[in-house]
Each structure stands twice: as structure tokens, then as C-alpha cells.
Amino acid sequence: MSRSAHPAGPRHADVMTEGHYSAPAADLNVLDEKVWARTVTRDADGALTVGGIAVARLAEEFGTPAYFLDESDFRARCRAWADAFGPDADVFYAGKAFLSRAVVRWLQEEGLNLDVCSGGELTTALDAGMPAERIAFHGNNKTVAEIERAVEVGVGRIVLDSFQEIVRVAHIARSHGVRQRVQIRVTVGVEAHTHEFIATAHEDQKFGIALADGQAAEAVRRTLALDSLELIGIHSHIGSQIFDMAGFEVSARRVVQLLAEVRDEHGVELPEIDLGGGLGIAYTSEDDPREPHDIAKALSDIVTRECESAKLRTPRISVEPGRAIVGPTAFTLYEVGTIKPLEGLRTYVSVDGGMSDNIRTALYDAEYSVALVSRTSEAEPMLVRVVGKHCESGDIVVKDAFLPADLAPGDLIAVPATGAYCRSMASNYNHALRPPVVAVRDGEARVIVRRETEEDLLRLDVG
């Protein structure tokens, strides 16, 4: 969800007033580097290139729709997070944003750890060689089979999400004769300023154990009493696409308070805290994300300060960015099909994908940018809505944007910042074939997740 995503927001109001709109400020041919992957630029002919390869060539070789991921940008973001947090902290990439074997290998090479939240993600991670001790296992309803697998392979930590799970994990660890390292996920009671469906630290939701009314303290009590569990710390994740550090500060403060209470009651100083993910990225020019360095400094300052005042040793901090690493590194390339001008309203531009490759607009009212990328154009800007090919009027990819008025069928347009939660939330609605993810680096492009085929669809249909 972009900060500018709300229909009542200023950008929307400026754009749409009873069918009249103000012209966009920027030259449509200029790519705002905030929303595009780092190696994206236009070549001498005006075509967009990524990793040195022009989109026309990419479209020809890999087809559309397709996600193109700038591998060197991904790696640079991993390094920026690792460097910002330094050797006394751990960065766990949140695999739910986008996970594939290639991604797991890049993470290992760049020194990151991995947060998984399902058996499928765990399998992908292990298959690509991620050492189990560098994996954190999450989820509000891990199945017994998933917990057994996680314990068997020796994941570095299981993040306990409920009272029942404390008992479940303890029992499984005992039956495997191991002492499982665990954290307890607490809900700190912070209302993150984001869409309701992606805010996770207020109390009325399904994740974690509330700090309020002593629930989390009770969870610590029960966990410490079980020999087969080694409680290494407290976990908090307050939501997603957050720009304001205030929520993280409150969260860190409350988690440190719990550590102090645990020390007072049990004489134990828990060695770690995990502050989750959720840092926002730029989907449009109006979003201003923070740099990892600023984030790391803000978080470690607050934890250090709170620990000093509680006379606690500063715990090791971990964080779990997903979107902030992979989100900006990819764009979705579409071919323009039908163009339908609606007099006095806007022009509907239909592309060869839609809500099956990007559900975020329909689900969260998310806002995206779009650009004509197969060429430049000096034509006037026209107000468009980019829509997909699905049988549903909510099948919107970009709600309000400007594209040149000479846009024509066959042009290529691209939606930036689709690296996170687009391929990972893609569906086969209308029996759409999920698009490939193509990694581009230094003049080379290779498929890391292939396009689905009609045979893939039929293979599952065994009736």
C-alpha cells in the first residue's frame, strides 16, 4: 500500500475532479529513479533497458507479461541492509515477498538469513542450500507436519505465535530429543499507519500474543518452564509498507520493557529481539522511503537507550525486511492490447496480465506507477486506468496514471516496484498462466521462475 494510495489522498483529488484532471508535472519520458530498479535507464532510442538489455529484446525472448528482476539491485539492497545493521545484528529476508532457489542463493552469497512461513518456503530454502540454522520459521498456524520438519532439519528459530503452539513445539522437540531455539511473537498494541489487512500489531487480529494484560509475560513463563525449548528472544512485527519510524520505536520500547520484566521475574536476560519487517518502498514518486542505514540507526539507538535505562545488556537485534529488499528490484512488462477512451472520464488501457499477476491494487487499493517503455513519445499526456484481461471490473493494475495519448496496441508498458507480493501472490484466476520471473544482470537475462504452461494447468486437473 502506497502512502498515496488512499482515494481521499491529495494526488487522487488533484487528478480526478468530475472528469477533469490537472496535467502531470513530470515529463512522461523521464523515469523517476525512486520507483525503478537501479540499472533501469532509457537507451539512445528511448527504449527502457535493465541490466543493459532493452525491453523489446526481453519481450521477444521471454514474452509478456513477465517480471524482470534486476539481480545486481537485489544484491546491493541485501548488502546495504547487512552493512547498515553490522555484525551485531541479523537481517532475515522475508521470503513471503518473493522466494525462489536463485533468491535463496543470492541471500547466502550476500550474507543474509531467511524468514519462512510455510513448509513450501522451507523446502525451497533447504533445496537451494540455505543452512537450516540461518532460517527462522514463522506462522500463526504452523501444522504439526511443518513443525516436525522444522525441528528435524534444525531451523535456527521457531517463532511461537500462540499458547497452544508453545506446547506443540515443546512436545515435538522433546520427541526428537532436541532443545529447539524459539522466540515468542508479541503484539505490542501499535496501530501501524497502513492498510488494515497488512497491519499486524494492534490487538484485534490473529498474530502473536498480546503484551497487554500480561499475556506475553505468561507465554514467557510457560516457555521457560519447558526443557525442550530454549527461549532466545521476543519478536514483534507491526505491519507493512510503513514509513514512519514512530511505530517501530514504540514497539522496540515495549519489547525492551518485557525483557526487563523477564529479567526481574526470572533472573534471565533474553539475548535477542526481532523487530520484524514492514519498511515501506516507493511505488509512486510521492513515496519517500528511508535508507537502511537510517532505519538501522533509529532502531539500534532506541533499543540501546531503553536498555540502558532498564539496566539491561543490549540484546542482539534482528529485522525481517521483505518488500524493502525485493520490491523495488523488479518491474512487470505488459503489452498493450485494447485501448478504450471513455469520453469525459478516462481511457482504459487493457494489458495482457492483470489481477492474476498483481492482486495488490484490487486487494489493498495499492497505487502504482506506469510508463511507456518500448519508445518515448512527445504526445500529450492522457489519463488512463491500466486494467487486466480478467472477467472482473475490479481487475485494475494501475488506478490513475498518465500515458502518452499516442499509445497504441502492441506498445510495451511497465509497472515498476512489483518485486514484492506480486509473483508470490499471483493466481491462476480465469486459468491465467502465471508469468515468469527473469533475472537480469550485466547484459544477461535468465529465467529463474518459468512461465506456467497450459500443460501445468492440465497436470493438476486429474478428474
Contacts to ligand LLP by CB under 6 A? 94, 96-97, 115, 138, 198, 237, 240-241, 276-279, 320-324, 360, 364, 420-421
Can the peptide bond before residue 292 be classed as cis, meaning omega within 30 degrees of 0?
no
**Pick from 23, 6, 5, 27: nearest CA to 14:** 23
Q: Which residue has the cell 528459530?
A: 157
Name which of 62 and 331 has its Cβ closer to ligand LLP.
331
Closer residue to ligand LLP (CB): 65 or 277: 277
Count CB atoms within 10 A of the CB of residue 344.
8
Known catalytic membership, residue 78: no
Least Å distance between CB 97 and ligand LLP?
A: 5
- 3 state SS of 207: coil
* Contact by Cβ (8 Å): 368, 361: yes
Task: In whole angstroms, give the CA distance from residue 223 to residue 39.
Answer: 48
Nearer to ligand LLP, 228 or 241 (CB): 241
Strand duo 381-387 + 346-351: pairing: parallel
The least distance separating ligand LLP from the CB of residue 195, rounded to whole angstroms, comes to 7
Residue 155 three-state SS: coil
Residue 153 CA to residue 172 CA, distance in Å, equals 13
Sequential DSSP letters for 297-359? HHHHHHHHHHHHHHT-PPPEEEE--SHHHHGGGEEEEEEEEEEEEETTTEEEEEES--TTT--
Q: Rank residues 255 and 382 by Cβ distance to ligand LLP and give the closer one.
A: 255
- Cα 436 to Cα 48, 67, 110: the distances in Å are 19, 6, 24
**Environment class of 418 (CB within 10 Å of its CB; exposed 0-12, middle 13-18, buried 19+):** buried
Minimum distance of ligand LLP from residue 437's CB (angstroms):
16
Looking at the Cβ atoms of 118 and 430, the one nearer to ligand LLP is 118
Which CB atom, from 278 or from 404, has the smaller least distance to ligand LLP? 278
Catalytic residue among 78, 117, 307, 391: 391
∠ at Cα 254 (201, 223), nearest 5°?
85
Q: Which is nearer to ligand LLP, 65 or 404 (CB)?
A: 65
> To the nearest whole angstrom, how small is the minimum distance from the Cβ of residue 198 to ligand LLP?
5
The answer to whether the beta carbons of residues 449 and 128 sit under 8 Å apart is no
Amino acid type, 291: E
What 3-state DSSP class applies to 264? helix
State which residue, 262 or 420, has the beta carbon closest to ligand LLP: 420
Rounded Cα gap, residues 151 and 29, in angstroms: 53
Which residue in 205, 200, 152, 156 sits closest to 181, CA to CA?
Answer: 156
Considering only CA atoms, which of 44, 61, 65, 41 is closest in space to residue 52?
A: 41
Please, what is the Cα angle at 232 between 226 and 237, to 5 degrees? Answer: 115
Other Cβ atoms less than 10 A from the Cβ of 256: the count is 24
- Least distance CB 196 / ligand LLP (angstroms): 12
Instruction: Report in angstroms how near the CB of residue 24 gets to ligand LLP at its nearest.
Output: 25
What residues are labeled active site?
391
